[in-house]
Amino acid sequence: MSEACSSENKEVKQIAPFSDVAKFHGHVCPGLTIGYMAAKTGIEELCVDRDVDEELVTIVENDACGVDAVQVITGCTIGKGNLIFKDYGKQAFTFICRDSGKAVRVVLKASFNIDALDPELGELRPKVMSGTATESEIPEFRKRMNCVSELMRETPAEKMFEIKHVSVEIPQKARIFNSVKCTKCEEMVAESRARVQNGELVCISCYDEYTRGW
């Protein structure tokens, strides 16, 4: 356990097993494992338990498989408003504890090469993704994916990730907004997302956006 954690003399409760994450996601893959290991690291570094009611906030910088693992392990979700997505295309995750004000950013190291764990997996992947793999190659691909995931889960977090305690502005808790009726489609929309067009309230999908290129 980290220095910050031991100084608070707090034990983290049992973290959900990887099998729960795989069941939620639907299959095992390196991307899912990255999210699992990152979330596990964040929880342990902050010495917190799984979120119940927005005690935690997670900022994810990609929309890949690992985000599913983050939801299962941390309890942070889009629906609760404490899973924040930034479309940066990075395997980077920031975990924030509202009570302590502490935050940790976990970023996959450039030096961590997944294909180096099993070069044949890298050769099979494009075949499976393009639909040109043979009947025997598909189960072999799945088998190797499982093996690589196991190897990753046995790897020390500090070898996989850059782990830094950071200072961040803690996002506000999720708000509930009144709903208004779109004058075009007549569907209800949160007033925070409504637009004014010709003096009337419309939803984003009905709004005719005007731009001059900037």
Is 9's pLDDT higher than 60?
A: no
Lowest mean pLDDT among 83-92, 145-154, 156-165, 205-214: 205-214
Q: Which of helix, strand or coil describes residue 105?
A: strand
Beta bridge partners of 59: 84, 94
Q: Where are the beta strands (DSSP E) in the chain?
A: 56-60, 83-85, 92-97, 103-108, 161-166, 179-181, 188-190, 195-197, 200-202
pLDDT at residue 7, as a whole number: 42
Exposure class string for 73-107: b at 16+ Cβ within 10 A, else e: bbbbeeebbbbeeeeeeebbbbbbbbeeebbbbbb
Beta bridge partners of 105: 94, 164
What mean pLDDT comes out for the span 102-113? 96
6 falls in which pLDDT band (50, 70, 90)?
very low
Beta bridge partners of 96: 57, 103
Is 3's pLDDT higher than 60?
A: no
Hey, what domains does the chain have and what are their CATH numbers? 3-166 (3.30.1330.130), 176-214 (3.30.60)
pTM: 0.85
Is 4's pLDDT higher than 80?
A: no
pLDDT at residue 89, as a whole number: 97
Question: Rounded mean pLDDT of the chain?
Answer: 91
pLDDT at residue 122, as a whole number: 85
Is 94's pLDDT higher than 90?
A: yes
Phi, psi at 88, each rounded to 5°: -105, -10
Report the Cα 79 to chain-centroid distance in Å. 13
Beta bridge partners of 103: 96, 166
Q: What is the pLDDT of residues 36-86, one digit of tens each?
A: 999 999 999 999 999 999 999 999 999 999 999 999 999 999 999 999 999
DSSP state for residue 47 in the 8-state scheme: T
What mean pLDDT comes out for the span 159-170? 95
DSSP state for residue 89 in the 8-state scheme: -
